[in-house]
């Protein structure tokens, strides 16, 4: 990729955001079905290494059977494992969900906290999950770095990093705060439809004029 001046990069980022907003709108949307903050937290814990579609299938029944934090906190590990066994890593996830819900009740009065340090103190909650909660529930500008965001942010020349936390810091430097939450929403949509991992359709991509990787594999 050609070296860019700061001003050139800022102009290119502004154009990328303009094109994404035009194509996908500026409404916040969450691909994981939920009605309460703790339901979203559980859905995000379940979603590691699993598709959102599969998680939504499982939670449709799960949230009916366990309709309160107390029910998850008091669940039998073996039974919860069976309830979520169609999802990868169900053993670990069931254990984390029970521990996480117990801690929410014991330490946070049954509320999902908004502070990063408090969220990441919960079982099964890493920085990515915490940022999903902060953005989706509390509207706190946060950049969620998942596989699509890492891959496509690199293609767009906005980071060279591999580690999600370093990608997040690079993106914080180049994206305006009002697009931190939207970045994840937009890039997931782009990654699922046009810029897929297997075969990006650069010819049909509305970002091709501002993407240094256009036409490359
Ligand atoms: S131009 Fe190609 S590589 Fe760049 S974002 Fe679009 S599909 Fe992905």
Mean pLDDT in residue range 70-74:
98
Q: In a 3-state reduction of DSSP, which class is residue 53? A: helix
Residues of the chain with pLDDT > 70, as a percent, come to: 99
* CATH number for the domain that contains residue 150: 1.10.1670.10
H or E stretch covering 69: helix 69-73
pLDDT at 184 over 90: yes
The answer on 116 and 75 residing in a single domain is yes
User: Quick check: is 87 in a domain?
Assistant: yes
CA 17 to ligand 1 centroid distance, Å: 14
CB 102 within 8 A of CB 108: no
Residue 88 forms part of a structural domain: yes
Is there a single domain that holds both residue 43 and residue 99? yes
Same domain flag for 131 and 170: no
Q: Is residue 42 part of a domain?
A: yes
Query: What is the pLDDT at residue 29?
Result: 87
The structure tokens 């860019």 sit at: 4
- 41 with 118, same domain: the answer is yes
The overall average pLDDT reported for the chain is 96
Would you say the CB of residue 202 lies under 6 angstroms from ligand 1?
yes
pLDDT number for residue 106: 98
Write out pLDDT tens, residues 108-158: 999 999 999 999 999 999 999 999 999 999 999 999 999 999 999 999 999
Beta strands in the chain, from DSSP E residues, in sequence order: none
The atom of ligand 1 lying closest to the CA of 190 is 5
Confidence of residue 84 (pLDDT cuts 50, 70, 90): very high
Q: Flag whether 125 is in a domain.
A: yes
Say yes or no: 104 and 41 in one domain: yes
Write down the pLDDT at residue 215. Answer: 86
Please give the Cα distance from 163 to 148 (Å, whole number).
13
Contact 39, 63 (CB under 8 A): yes
In angstroms, the CA 126 to CA 169 distance is 16
- Round to whole Å and give the CA distance between 143 and 149: 9
* pLDDT band, residue 217 (cuts 50/70/90): low
Q: How confident is the model at residue 1 (pLDDT cuts 50, 70, 90)?
A: low
Quote the pLDDT of residue 116: 96
**Residue 109: inside a domain, yes or no?**
yes
CATH of the domain at 71: 1.10.340.30
Tokens of 61: 């029944």
Beta-carbon contacts of 124 under 8 Å, excluding residues fewer than 6 positions away, are 45, 92, 93, 96, 97, 99, 100
Determine, yes or no, domain membership for 48: yes
Which H or E run includes 164? helix 164-174
- Segments forming the whole domain that contains residue 66: 37-136
Residues 48 and 110 reside in one and the same domain = yes
Q: Domain check: are 118 and 167 in the same one?
A: no
> pTM above 0.85?
yes
Q: Is the CB of 9 under 6 A from ligand 1?
A: no
What is the per-residue pLDDT across 190-211, written as a single tens digit (0 to 9) for each?
999 999 999 999 999 999 999 9
Q: What pLDDT score does 216 carry?
A: 80
Q: Is the CB of 157 under 6 A from ligand 1?
A: no
Q: Look at residue 149 and tell me if it is in a domain.
A: yes
Q: Rounded to the nearest 5°, which phi and psi values hold at 137?
A: -95, -45
Sign of CA dihedral 40, 42, 43, 49: positive
For ligand 1, pick from 19, 151, 155 the residue to mutate: most ligand atoms within 8 Å of CB. Answer: 155
Same domain as 74, residue 107: yes
- Three-state SS string across 165-196, please? HHHHHHHHHHCCHHHHHHHHHHHHHHHHHCCC
Q: Judge whether residue 93 has pLDDT over 90.
A: yes
Q: How far apart are CA 50 and CA 45, in angstroms?
A: 10
Give the count of domains, the chain: 2
Q: Is the CB of 208 under 6 A from ligand 1?
A: yes
Assess if residue 107 is contained within a domain. Answer: yes
pLDDT tens per residue across span 4-53: 899 999 999 999 999 999 999 999 889 999 999 999 999 999 999 899 99
User: Is there a single domain that holds both residue 106 and residue 53?
Assistant: yes
Residue with the smallest CA separation from ligand 1 atom 2 is 202
Whether 49 and 79 map to the same domain: the answer is yes
pLDDT at 3: 82
Residue 71, pLDDT > 70, answer yes
Q: Percent of the chain having pLDDT more than 90?
A: 94
């Amino acid at each position: 990729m050609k070296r860019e001046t700061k001003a050139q990069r800022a102009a290119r980022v502004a154009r990328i955001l303009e094109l994404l907003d035009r194509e996908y709108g500026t409404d916040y949307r969450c691909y994981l079905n939920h009605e309460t903050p703790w339901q979203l937290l559980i859905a995000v814990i379940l979603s590691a290494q699993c598709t959102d579609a599969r998680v939504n299938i499982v939670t449709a029944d799960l949230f009916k059977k366990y309709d309160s934090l107390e029910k998850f906190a008091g669940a039998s590990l073996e039974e919860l494992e069976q309830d979520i066994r169609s999802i990868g890593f169900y053993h670990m996830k069931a254990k984390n969900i029970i521990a996480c819900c117990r801690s929410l009740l014991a330490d946070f009065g049954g509320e999902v906290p908004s502070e990063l340090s408090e969220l990441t103190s919960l079982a099964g909650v890493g920085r990515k999950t915490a940022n999903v909660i902060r953005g989706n529930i509390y509207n706190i500008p946060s950049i969620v770095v998942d596989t699509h965001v890492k891959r496509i942010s690199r293609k767009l020349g906005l980071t060279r990093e591999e580690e999600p936390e370093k990608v997040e810091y690079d993106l914080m430097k180049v994206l305006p705060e009002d697009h931190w939450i939207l970045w994840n929403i937009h890039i997931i949509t782009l990654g699922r439809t046009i810029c897929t991992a297997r075969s990006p359709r650069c010819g049909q991509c509305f970002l091709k004029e501002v993407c240094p990787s256009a036409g490359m594999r």
